[in-house]
Amino acid sequence: MSWIHDQRLIQGLYIVAFALFIYGLMGLTGPRTAVRGNLIAAVGMAIAVGATLLTPGLGNWWLILLGVAIGTAVGIPAARTVRMTAMPQMVALFNGVGGGAIALIAWVEFRTSEGFAHEPAYVSVASLFAALIGSVSFWGSNIAFGKLQEVLPGRPIGVGRLQQPLNLVVLLVALACGVAIVAGQRSEVLVVGLLVAAAVLGVLMVLPIGGADMPVVISLLNAATGLSAAAMGLALDNTALITAGMIVGASGSILTNLMAKAMNRSIAAIVAGGFGGNGSSSTLAVAGDRATRQVDAADAAIQLAFANQVIIVPGYGMAVAQAQHAVRDLGSQLEARGVTVYYAIHPVAGRMPGHMNVLLAEADVPYEQLKEMDDVNGEFSHTDVTLVIGANDVTNPAARTDPGSPIYGMPILNVDDSRSIIVLKRSMNRGFAGVDNELYFDPKTSMLFGDAKASVSEIAKELKEQ
Amino acid sequence: MLMDNLAVLVLAGFVGFAVISKVPNTLHTPLMSGTNAIHGIVVLGGFIVLGAGADGVLNKILLVVAIAFGTINVVGGFLVTDRMLGMFKAKAPRSPEGSR
């Protein structure tokens, strides 16, 4: 049975595994093949795990099984029971534990190799890089989770102007520890210092970032974890880690870039401190003394019933209220009355790109009715009623008109072009970016306060009686 | 060995770049979740270091935690992605009928 522990067999299986990863990811690029793609990637992972367990002379079997058992016992229920609205923070959490795993492995490597005493320099450099990024990713992801789960306040928390010098100092401390280790210092205080400094850096980097930027941050941390997995692969001379980690690093970078672009922001600006606090103060001041118009469900139903074209703009509020089925019912009722209905999907509506598409697809809204921002923006000017359901920042005209606004320059849905606007909202609370929405004070806009699902069902009920 | 690995690293980066650059908006969330599951491959690092005979209680505890973390990343990541994509699965066979 010696062949089964042959290093070439393991290497061969790794090649099969990363081929499956790439094939699986190709599948994930189309709606029809995506489910299979994910499955194929999972099979690749199973093969890579199996191959690694064939490594000659592998010991500590019970402990390995114990770790896997704990991970499975935690991971499966978490993934099974998470609500659709909570998916983004779940991804953040899964990403974080991956980073945490890397940091811990690097730490143990340091301990078992007596501070990399007998290793070539590149092993220590790669391990320490992996440790640093892994620790940043773990703590940063946990803060992102806390913000999205609303355990922590979503608004930016920071120390203002001192933020960037402070971050830089903490980064330099981490790097100094790393350099000292590579230079031959063997003290464990250094590696712990590196991990702690990286942890502080992760927290400091994510805390000042406003909730609206959080998807970009999660994506960025996802890419970072991939890169640190690749670095760990270099240190351990493991092809599977190098290829899989690097593919994730590359894909995550692209996704991050796409998401940042959709918000007309640079990744550097987001990381450098999120939405600045200066601009928002000017818009805050005017909010208090202006009135909004309110409407009740019956009025809203009448307006909708006599419209020729209605555009529904879903946002996070729809996701929170799980209102997608009610929204679909309302949409179908309007269609049955001969009203043209579209759904306008902003690229970053909700908490992640595609968040709204996923929810509306769940409610069986036909694909043809889902319009992306660039396709739908011309439609608003000949739309009678736009129904905004729990979307806020992505409809704020300040992004076009007020250079002082923190969201200035972000492409938005031109909801204010339509003849009238009905906004369903829980309260006058601000959106995730923490700024007031000019749209609500537009004379064409009327507000219907309440839970999105209750309001939509109410409108649908009134509509039946028309 | 280092140079071979670096070559693999660079090529894998370009592969990742080429494969991913063509994803429609709709699939960004599942894609992020899917790639997230793939970097859970670090669990292999835990197997290798622990299996190579790491001793000492602290080392063992740290590695068991690392393997548990990595497993959560892999298992949870793929399952969550599958749940998100389940909506597309149900959609595909039904849409031709619906368009009649």
Type and span of the H or E element at A1: none
User: What three-state secondary structure class fits A100?
Assistant: helix
CA atoms within 13 A on the CB side of A266: 3
Here the tokens at position B20 are 């991913």
Task: Give the ranges where A342-385 is alpha helix by DSSP (H).
Answer: 355-362, 373-376
Torsion of CA B72, A257, A372, A383, to 10 degrees: 120
Give percent of chain A with pLDDT exceeding 70. 92
Q: What is the pLDDT of residues A267-298, one digit of tens each?
A: 777 776 544 433 333 333 333 446 677 888 88
For residue A7, name the pLDDT band (cuts at 50, 70, 90).
confident
Q: What is the pLDDT of residues A196-254, one digit of tens each?
A: 999 999 999 998 887 667 888 898 999 999 999 999 999 999 999 999 999 999 988 98
Q: What chain B residue is nearest to A97 in terms of C-alpha separation?
A: B69
The residues pairing with A388 across neighbouring beta strands, listed in sequence order, are A313, A423
Predicted local distance difference test score (pLDDT) of residue B91:
39
Q: What is the ipTM of this complex?
A: 0.89
The answer for B 38-67 residues in CB contact with A (under 8 A) is: 38-54, 56, 58-60, 62-67
Predicted local distance difference test score (pLDDT) of residue A283:
33
Q: What is the pLDDT of residues A152-190, one digit of tens each?
A: 887 778 777 788 889 899 999 999 999 999 998 889 999
* Disruptive mutation site among A14, A54, A72, A246 for chain B (greatest number of B CBs within 10 Å): A246
Q: Give contacts of A252 with chain B, Cβ < 8 Å.
A: 32, 35
Here the tokens at position A246 are 């690097």
Predicted local distance difference test score (pLDDT) of residue B24:
66
Predicted local distance difference test score (pLDDT) of residue A273:
59
Q: How close B93 gets to chain A, by Cα (Å)?
A: 10
Q: What's the Cα-to-Cα distance from A67 to each of A41, A94, A110, A452, B55, rounded to whole Å?
A: 22, 16, 20, 43, 16
Say whether residue A100 is in contact with chain B using an 8 A CB cutoff: yes
Rounded to an integer, what distance in angstroms lies between the CA atom of residue A378 and that of residue B22? 25
Predicted local distance difference test score (pLDDT) of residue A342:
92
Q: Which residue has the tokens 């092993």?
A: A123
Q: Which residue has the tokens 């690092």?
A: B45
Name which of B36, B64, B74 is nearest A91 (Cβ-Cβ). Answer: B36
Contact A72, A65 (CB under 8 A): no
DSSP state for residue A400 in the 8-state scheme: H
User: What three-state secondary structure class fits A266?
Assistant: coil
Q: What's the Cα-to-Cα distance from A313 to each of A203, A205, A346, A398, rounded to whole Å?
A: 34, 32, 8, 18
Q: What is the pLDDT of residues B60-94, one digit of tens each?
A: 999 999 999 999 999 999 999 998 887 665 433 43
| Contacting residues for A168 by C-beta, under 8 A, at least 6 apart | none
Give percent of chain A with pLDDT exceeding 90. 42
DSSP B7-61: HHHHHHHHHHHHHHTT--GGGHHHHHHHHHHHGGGGHHHHHHHHHTT--SHHHHH
Q: How many Cβ atoms sit within 10 Å of the Cβ of residue A183?
A: 9
Name which of B6, B43, B79 is nearest A101 (Cβ-Cβ). Answer: B43
Q: Computed over its alpha carbons, how large is the radius of gyration of chain B?
A: 19
Q: Which residue has the tokens 């990286």?
A: A198
Predicted local distance difference test score (pLDDT) of residue B96:
39
| Contacting residues for A286 by C-beta, under 8 A, at least 6 apart | A436
Rounded to an integer, what distance in angstroms lies between the CA atom of residue A216 and that of residue A319? 19
Nearest CA-CA partner of A433 in A410, A400, A453, A417 = A410
Q: Give contacts of B66 with chain A, Cβ < 8 Å.
A: 67, 100-102, 104-105, 108
Compute the residue count for chain A: 466
Q: Provide the residue type at B25 as one letter.
A: N
pTM: 0.75
